[in-house]
Amino acid sequence: MTTAILSALPEEQEGLAAQLDGLRVVRHAGRDFHAGEWLGRPVVFALSGIGKVAAATTASALIERFNARRIVFTGVAGGLHPDVRVGDTVIGTEFLQHDMDASPLFPRYEVPLYGRSRFAADAQLVGLLLAAARDPAVDAKSHFDAETLARFGIDAPRVLQGLLVSGDRFVSRADEAGALRAALPDAMAVEMEAAAVAQVCHDHGVPFAAVRNISDRADDQAHVDFPAYLSQVAGRQARALIAALLPM
């Protein structure tokens, strides 16, 4: 059973493809797919680029061309919920496109003709990711260097779960983040891909889950925090989680 690990940006998968045995790089649909084996299991790593369409086309290719039978998205996100801080990890249990609005034909957020606005993560994958992320043997702070801990005031990073919302906007204003919080109070974090991949996986009956590390608070500081965080830590925790997931 082939597992696909999908991210938007190279920093979010830093060092991962190098772990594969028998690495093959396949160029398809304008992207490089890195296929091989990890602990004897078939794995393919892919980078979608940013945004819902890029993520959806890459997910389709993973399923149709690379025979992916489960997909895990890994990357960073902007924290929305008051409980979510930079450095925390959010495992997505549900996904919603916050820029979907075909009202008054359909209720706001509902994906037309699907009769739903939320797509659920695969419960088994969520369970595996939560167990790996909460492994008491792993010191959560070990994923960060001293400079990053100080810069972002990270003290005791936590592992949370809940709704991830996706849209084709980098949210970088406090008022915009506030409006999202008010409209979707259970949203934990905002990013630009996972809900699109969730819809594709739903169409194909492929289990899906997403792990997001909080790089910023989607506020007026987000455009500064996001690149700083991305360059320092994005790939490290992903590596630990994926290593734990793949033998399953």
* Pairing mode of beta strands 118-120, 68-79: unpaired
Which residues make up the interface to ligand ADE (CB under 6 A)?
A: 76-78, 170-172, 190-192, 215-216, 218, 222, 226
Q: How far is the CB of 163 from ligand ADE (least distance, A)?
A: 15
**Helix axis angle, 194-204 relative to 52-64, nearest 10°?**
30
Q: Nearest residue to ligand ADE, using CB?
A: 78
Query: SS3 letters for 174-200?
Result: HHHHHHHHHHCCCEEEEECCHHHHHHH
Q: Which of 11, 216, 219, 225 is catalytic?
A: 216
Q: Which of 11, 12, 88, 122 is catalytic?
A: 12
Q: Is 216 a catalytic site residue? A: yes
Q: How far is the CB of 76 from ligand ADE (least distance, A)?
A: 5
Burial class (CB in 10 A: 0-12, 13-18, 19+), 135: middle
CB atoms near residue 84 (< 10 Å):
23
Q: How far is the CB of 210 from ligand ADE (least distance, A)?
A: 12
Q: How far is the CB of 195 from ligand ADE (least distance, A)?
A: 12
Q: Is 83 a catalytic site residue? A: no
- Number of C-alpha atoms within 13 angstroms, CB side, residue 41? 20
Nearer to ligand ADE, 124 or 231 (CB): 231
Nearer to ligand ADE, 35 or 164 (CB): 164
Nearer to ligand ADE, 70 or 85 (CB): 85
Closest CA to 52 of 218, 213, 195: 195
Q: Which residues are catalytic?
A: 12, 216
